Amino acid sequence: MSFFTDLAHQYIDGEWRTGSGSWDIIDFNPYNGEKLAAITVATVAEVDQAYRAAERAQRPWAETNPYTRRLVFERALRIVEERSDRIADAIAEELGGTRLKAAFEIHLAKEYLREAIRLAVRPEGRVLPSQTDGKENRVYRLPVGVVGVITPYNFPFLVTLKSVAPALALGNAVVIKPNQHTPVVGGGLIARIFEDAGLPRGLLNVLVTDIAEVGDALIEHPVPKVISFAGSDRVGRHVGAVAGRNFKRCVLELSGNSALVVLDDADLDHAVDAAVFSRFLYQGQVCTAANRILVDRSVEAAFTEKFVAKVAALRTGDPRDPETQIGPVIDSLQAESLAGLVDQAVADGATALVRGRVRGTLVEPTVLAGLPEQSPLLRQEIFGPVALLAPFHGEEEAVRMVNDSPYGLSGAVHTRDVGRGVRFAHRIETGMFHVNDSTVQDEPLVAFGGEKLSGLGRLGGDATVEAFTTQKWISVQHGRTRFPL
């Protein structure tokens, strides 16, 4: 089976079909420009078909014994384990992910499937006391119904499963709209895994389309009760506004501008390793990537020397080559944008300690230092292999610099004093912060999400249950109630 032949279709109500739109989305390999597939877009009519199929299938699924539902996720996990090598190949082909990146993504995806196995039998009801004698308050946790999932290109397999697997496990149905750059890894591949795992038809649907074709139909449609979106804050703001107008709950995982902070007592070798990983995993196209690397002036020279040497040695090339550490960015427009950002920064006074070349979609790593304090680069998300080094004098200035951003997703601090690191972390305006580690972290049991423009809501652990279930109060009066009228 060729993923890009067999899975490059719409998947609606258990059927693989061609979209009825008048134009195609072309799926390209970002490294060599090879055409992987052409997918005729889904129309508004097919959006309705997918949501209606999900609606029909959801109630019987919710009424299925949770232990029976759990078996689907056990089989899905085995399928991913058996097909890991082929999935890694697809990640390299469709989104330019290196072998390291693919292994990282697949590992986490499997962890989320393991968590879905547990979630299938987790939801619990409660019996609460009442102020009225003889009354019993029962609070049930129920699936919301149908969930719309809109996913990005950078971690399409992981981020899609992160919503899809728990939503299904908790008794919901799902409609996925994958990113146009990754319609197979983020859409068709996931549908095939669950199809082969025995998920009943209609519960999972995939629509490959574009806002130019369907407008806001994916969000405005009356069937979905929750929209889970991961992507830029610009698009997320629109998704949230449309969802709010239509009284839909939404979970928004948006842009970041994370900082990795190196205090004066840090283990510099460890901090360098964490900073390189945090900035350059998947070419820096990661929402939790360390855009800014802030270093105490007392260790600035030593850290910079080690960091620059390690970055300069990173190997850029074909993502299919196991030796490659930096693959292509997603397309030529992104490459050109990154080149323009670097040129502008240098023109504004920054120094390029490492100046990577741009060859098509291959963007070699760049390290910039000496940016003016008011440089817009320090306050925006840079989706590419460009690291910004900035010094600070003491913790107070470090806290101020980290928080001087419209975003608040992740971050990290390095210090030999764990207590100091935790106290520092408490002062940072982010949803997540890590002591002596990378800024790029994700675990199924922990709430993942951001503050400020980095999003609304959380996924992971209890937050996932909150996102994809609702509560219903049923009271039972034992004996007769005396009413005042």
- Amino acid 70: pLDDT: 97
The architecture in CATH of the region 3-254+454-473 reads 3-Layer(aba) Sandwich (3.40)
CB atoms within 10 A of CB 396: 10
- Cα separation, 192 vs 217, in Å, equals 25
- Going by C-alpha positions, the residue among 201, 203, 93, 199 that lies closest to residue 156 is 93
Res. 124 pLDDT band, cuts 50 70 90: confident
Is pLDDT of 336 > 90?
yes
Active-site pick, 111, 287, 300, 395 = 287
- Going by C-alpha positions, the residue among 129, 104, 469, 429 that lies closest to residue 282 is 104
CATH class of 258-435: alpha beta
> Are the C-beta atoms of 332 and 360 separated by less than 8 Å?
yes
Is pLDDT of 1 > 80?
no
- Cα separation, 405 vs 74, in Å, equals 42
> What's the Rg (C-alpha) of the chain?
24
| Separation in Å, CA 292 to CA 257, 350, 404 | 7, 14, 11
- Rounded to an integer, what is the distance from CA 366 to the centroid of its chain? 25
Respond yes or no: is residue 253 known to be catalytic: yes
Reduced to 3 states (helix: H, G, I; strand: E, B; else coil), residue 21 is: coil
Active-site pick, 46, 94, 195, 253 = 253
- Cα separation, 56 vs 51, in Å, equals 9
Give every CB contact of residue 76 below 8 A, 6+ residues apart in sequence.
Answer: 113, 116, 165, 193, 194, 197, 199
Give every CB contact of residue 434 below 8 A, 6+ residues apart in sequence.
Answer: 410, 411, 412, 413, 425, 441
Respond yes or no: is residue 443 known to be catalytic: no
> Are the C-beta atoms of 258 and 451 separated by less than 8 Å?
no
Res. 464 pLDDT band, cuts 50 70 90: very high
Average pLDDT for 340-356? 96
SS (H, E, C) 436-456: CCCCCCCCCCCCECCEECCEE
Res. 123 pLDDT band, cuts 50 70 90: confident
- Amino acid 259: pLDDT: 98
**Global confidence as pTM:** 0.96
Tens digits of residue pLDDT in 431-449: 999 999 999 999 999 999 9
Average pLDDT for 475-481? 93
Mean pLDDT of the chain: 97
- Amino acid 371: pLDDT: 96
- Amino acid 3: pLDDT: 93
Average pLDDT for 88-98? 98
Give every CB contact of residue 161 below 8 A, 6+ residues apart in sequence.
Answer: 109, 112, 113, 190
Tens digits of residue pLDDT in 248-282: 999 999 999 999 999 999 999 999 999 999 999 99
- Going by C-alpha positions, the residue among 28, 45, 24, 49 that lies closest to residue 208 is 24
> Are the C-beta atoms of 176 and 194 separated by less than 8 Å?
no
Q: 17-31, 111-125, 163-177, 392-406: which range is least confident on average? A: 111-125
- Amino acid 2: pLDDT: 81
- Amino acid 208: pLDDT: 98
With both helix axes pointing from N to C terminus, report the angle between 66-82 and 156-169 in degrees, rounded to the nearest 10. Answer: 160
Domain boundaries, the chain: 3-254+454-473, 258-435
